[in-house]
Amino acid sequence: MKFFVDTANLQEIQEAHDLGVLDGVTTNPSLMAKEGIFGHDNVMAHYKQICEIVDGDISAEVIATDFEGMVREGELLAELHPNIVVKVPMTREGVKAIRHFSERGIKTNCTLVFSAGQAILAAKAGATYVSPFVGRLDDVSTDGLQLIEQIVHIYGNYGYQTQVLAASVRHVMHLVQCAELGADVVTCPLSVITGLLNHPLTDIGLQKFLADHAKGNK
């Protein structure tokens, strides 16, 4: 399973990279705004900075909602760096844009996916990644993990090459369960990834080893 960090914060991206387990980054307009990054030139410059840190796929989202606008924005994003993946919403125009990019060798991430049917369309259009939102489905009393399981099963039936990128992953158990279900990628806050480090028995065991070592050196 690949680990992507879902942020536009350069310090968090660097920390995740330094941990040695980071495979990529996902961003969106909300994450950019959270970091105070506004304006086309500033956003493009920020993507370049991310690409300098991470040697992996970086999802950069289009703002346009029409086909022509998505294509125009997506092509500009793809020109920034070979690792840029154009993030496109699951809409009628978005599916058309994904097909356009796919035919031209531009990687895509189909985002805001909430059903297996939408995931099938994304794969048929040639998306590199499909992003079902686990946590947001949980928020409306729907089993987000069940959707991951459905998509993995359907893609396996037909040999679709689109990778299942579990998004809106909010805690460690989400991540572990997505791994159990066969998701290709998980994207989440850095705190979820570092949360995998924690176990009380590890802490207790380490304290005991250090205490015993200290006794032996007296």
Per-residue pLDDT reduced to its tens digit, 146-195: 999 999 999 999 999 999 999 999 999 999 999 999 999 999 999 999 99
The SS3 call for residue 115 is coil
The pLDDT-based confidence of 203 (bands split at 50, 70, 90) is confident
Q: What is the C-alpha separation between 138 and 51, in angstroms, rounded?
A: 32
* pLDDT digits 0-9 by tens, 12-40: 999 999 999 999 999 999 999 999 999 99
What global pTM score does this model have?
0.94
| Residue 217 in this model has a pLDDT that exceeds 80 | no
Q: What is the C-alpha separation between 173 and 183, in angstroms, rounded?
A: 14
| Residue 216 in this model has a pLDDT that exceeds 80 | no
Q: What is the pLDDT of residue 67?
A: 98
Tell me if 155 sits within 8 A of 164, measured CB to CB. yes
Identify which of 2, 87, 3, 17 has the alpha carbon closest to the alpha carbon of residue 50: 17
Q: What is the C-alpha separation between 164 and 112, in angstroms, rounded?
A: 13
Tell me if 109 sits within 8 A of 26, measured CB to CB. yes
* pLDDT digits 0-9 by tens, 72-117: 999 999 999 999 999 999 999 999 999 999 999 999 999 999 999 9
Residues tagged active-site: 87
Q: What is the C-alpha separation between 134 and 114, in angstroms, rounded?
A: 8
pLDDT higher for 214 or 54?
A: 54
Mean pLDDT for all residues in the chain: 96
The pLDDT-based confidence of 64 (bands split at 50, 70, 90) is very high
Lowest pLDDT segment from 3-12, 37-46, 56-65, 198-207 = 198-207
Q: What is the pLDDT of residue 211?
A: 87
